[in-house]
Each structure stands twice: as structure tokens, then as C-alpha cells.
Structure 1
């Protein structure tokens, strides 16, 4: 089976660089499956896990926004931030989720910017928790 290079890059570093069999990302308009020889495209990403298949193994990576660029022989994910499962502090993610949920439930006199920041914090926390729990199964 053919593969392609997946590179996940943030402003700070290269988080992941490996040959993969397939990739699933969540773009703005929904999930997108990418196989070798996929047509070139660029699309914005949601805050969601990226799932790569390498051989028979599935790798989930928490990616917090950004873009995916599909080229003929590689895919580059330019993320605002990204974390491999082993680098996620689950207790910290759970605490962040709880803080965001409290801020959202006390919305009474918040402005829209604070509400949007709390929604994004909640999405990031849930993504971290989901990626971390997927590797422990």
C-alpha cells in the first residue's frame, strides 16, 4: 500500500513527521478523509483530533485550529497548536473544561468575545481529553 508524508507543524515546532496510510481531519465544512494521491487542496481546520493510520495502528493528535494543505505526495497541517497523546496533561485538560463550562453557564453579562474564548477553550479541552483517552484503550 502506498503512503504519504504527514507533517504537523505549529509556530513553535514540528509536532509530527511520518509516512502515513491515511488521514482524517475535521475541516470547517465537515470531516475529510485523505488517501495517497488525493487532489491538492487547502482548507481551514476546526479544533478537533486528527486521526492518522500507520500500518495497522491509529494515531490521534490534538490539533487546535489552523489549516491543512494537501499536496501530491504530502500533507502539511499548520496548526495554531498541536499535541501528541503522550504529552497531554489530562488533569489539566479536565480542569480547563470545567472552567470553560462554568464561564459559559454564567453567561449573563459576558460579552461575545469572552463567550467565544470560553467556547474555544472548551473545544480544546475536550479535544485533548478525547485524544488522550483514545490511546489508553
Structure 2
């Protein structure tokens, strides 16, 4: 069976580099499924999980937006932050979620509200990926 090379890269370096059978990612216009031979595409990603399928098993990586570049045999994901499910510090993610919820309930200007909302989305995404609630 044909495979795709997948690279997930952050400013701190590579997070994932492997061969997979299929990728499912959440873009700004909806989910995209990528198989070997996919047409070249570039799309913006939203906060969400990237599902990587290989040999009938699935792995998940939490990403905080970014871009996906698809070529027929290679996919590159560029994102500000990414974590493989097994590397997620769930206690830290839950604490971040709690702080974001507290900020959202308090009085804040539009900028602080937007930051807190984005922080909450990222924390919830990390928790969901860690717990497998995708």
C-alpha cells in the first residue's frame, strides 16, 4: 500500500515525522482527508486534532492552527504548537482550561476575551486528544 510522509513542525522543531496511510485534519473550511496521490493543496488549519492512520491504527496530534501543505507523496503541517497525545501534560492543560474559564467569566476587554477564548480552545483540544475524545 502506498504511504505519505508526514512532517509536523513548530518553531521549536519537528514534532512528528513518519510514513502514514491517511491523514485527517481540520481546516478553516472543514475536515480534509488526505491519501497518497492527493492533489497539491495548501489550507489553513484551526485548533484541533490531526488524525494519522497507519496499519489500521490511529495516532493523534493536537495542533493550534497553522497550515497544511499537501503534495502527492508528502504532507507538511506548520503550526505554532503541536503535541502528540502521549506527550501532553494533561494536568497543565486542565489548569490552563480553568484559568481561561475564569478569565471569560470576569470583566475583560475584547482583546483579553479573545485571548482567553483561544486559550480555552487550545486547552480543551489538548485534553480531548490526550483522553481520545476526538
The TM-score with structure 1 as length reference comes to 0.93
**4+ long deviations beyond 2 Å:** none
Alignment of 1:69-108 (within 5 A): 69-106=69-106, 108=107
Counterpart of 2:64?
A: 64
> Aligned-pair distance for 1:4?
0.6
Q: CA RMSD in A?
A: 1.1
- Measure the CA separation in 1 of the matches of 2:34 and 2:72: 11
Once the two structures are TM-superposed, the CA of residue 85 in structure 1 deviates from its matched residue by: 1.3
1:30, CA displacement in angstroms? 1.0
In the alignment, the residues of structure 1 paired with residue 117 and residue 36 of structure 2 have an alpha-carbon distance, to the nearest angstrom, of 34
Note the C-alpha offset of 1:95.
Answer: 0.9
> Across the two proteins, how many residue pairs are aligned to each other?
133
| Rounded Cα–Cα distance in structure 1 between residues aligned with 2:15 and 2:25 | 16
- Helix, strand or coil: the match of 2:77? strand
User: What are structure 2's unaligned runs of at least 5 residues?
Assistant: none
Aligned with residue 120 of structure 1, among 118, 121, 129: 118
Gaps of 5+ in 1: none
Q: What secondary structure sits across from 1:59 in the alignment?
A: strand
Tell me the TM-score normalized by structure 2: 0.95
